[in-house]
Amino acid sequence: MNFKAYIVFIILTSLMITFLAIGIVDALNDSLYIVVTFPNLIYDVKPFLCSGDYIVSIAPVGVDPHEYQLTPTNVEDLRKADIIVSTGHAPFEKNIEEMVGKEIKGELLIIPKIPNIRILANPATGKPNYHMPIYDPNNYILFIKYISEVLAHKRPECANHYYERARDIVDKISSLINHTPKVNVVAVADTPTTQYAVSWIGIRIKYLMIKEHEVPVSPKDVESIVEAMKNGEIKLAIINNPPTARASESLKELAEKYSVPILYVPSPIGEGSILNKLTIISNQISNLSMEIPEETALLEQSQSTVGKNVVTALLPLLLLIVVGLFIFTKARGV
């Protein structure tokens, strides 16, 4: 290779490297910076991410989000964010809402405000329960579809990728809903954070050891729970796993004492996606269904018995009506 050819080769190679670098930078510039307020939400959003997308949590793992306060690093992440996913009820999340449109320019997605999300009432207080409503699989489907739309709008070149991931997750959740045995029972839970995880199965949490965050257990509440266990009203105990408070251990002891089956619910703010946690719950229900008193079956049997009794009672009356019509017709024909 002569000197001129060598120079041309060097120039062309340099240009190719430059253009490639520009392309990479452009691709990175198009990527999304996503901030979630709770660390567990990373497991639900990360499967969507397209090449170059980045995700970070505000509250660190192992910290009670209700007690957390924003740090300068958090504020810097929020300023960079294209999308912020929030549960909308922890104090620091309220601070984030106040910053939107000022320090924060990204789009804030507040889970309870997603269209058609179903918010349950706390059975002890009657107030809305905002503790992770996407733990209900039907709400989770709405969340998955909504966030895929937001991501696709922000980064159109990855739209197909986001939609395909959403369809895959929705299909798995739908299958889980269809294959999970349904029951019809009254239950007691250690905290209101479990409500969305089990209500879709037909488990009605009527009693709570802890009515709300930072509300202590009262002796009167414990007495009511014990009485409901004794008289057979409570058919199931729902306990966070791992236990979130001393109340969880107390409920376990009561359930074992009065032979009430226990369903362990993975913590909504623990590691793992909602899909994985619901799968654990579904598997437990399949195993527990033989232990849980069959209120549903009894209800269906009762309804069936009532129906049969009604038909039996009406048959003679129907026979009399037919005979009467026959006689009346004959009499008119004479």
| Cα–Cα distance measured from residue 26 to residue 43, given in angstroms and rounded to the nearest whole number | 27
- Residue 12, pLDDT score: 55
The position carrying tokens 């598997």 is 283
Q: Is 11 helix (H, G, I), strand (E, B) or coil?
A: helix
The helix (H) or strand (E) run that includes residue 217 is none
- Residue 194, pLDDT score: 97
pTM check: above 0.85: no
Bridge-based pairing of strands 54-57 and 33-36 is parallel
Contact 138, 120 (CB under 8 A): no
| Cα–Cα distance measured from residue 97 to residue 184, given in angstroms and rounded to the nearest whole number | 39
How does DSSP classify residue 29?
H
221 to 215, 216, 237, 317: CA distances (angstroms): 12, 10, 15, 52
- Residue 329, pLDDT score: 58
Among candidates 184, 228, 196, which has minimal Cα distance to 209?
Answer: 228
Q: Which domains does the chain have, with CATH numbers?
A: 31-113 (3.40.50.1980), 182-295 (3.40.50.1980)
- Residue 173, pLDDT score: 98
- Residue 305, pLDDT score: 40
- Residue 185, pLDDT score: 97
- Residue 213, pLDDT score: 77
DSSP secondary structure, 281-327, as one string? HHHHHHHHTTTS--HHHHHHHHHHHHHHHHHHHHHHHHHHHHHHHHH
308 exposure class (CB count in 10 Å sphere: 0-12, 13-18, 19+) = exposed
- Residue 310, pLDDT score: 39
* Low pLDDT (below 70) residues in the chain: 1-29, 294-334
Residue 14 bridge partners (DSSP): none
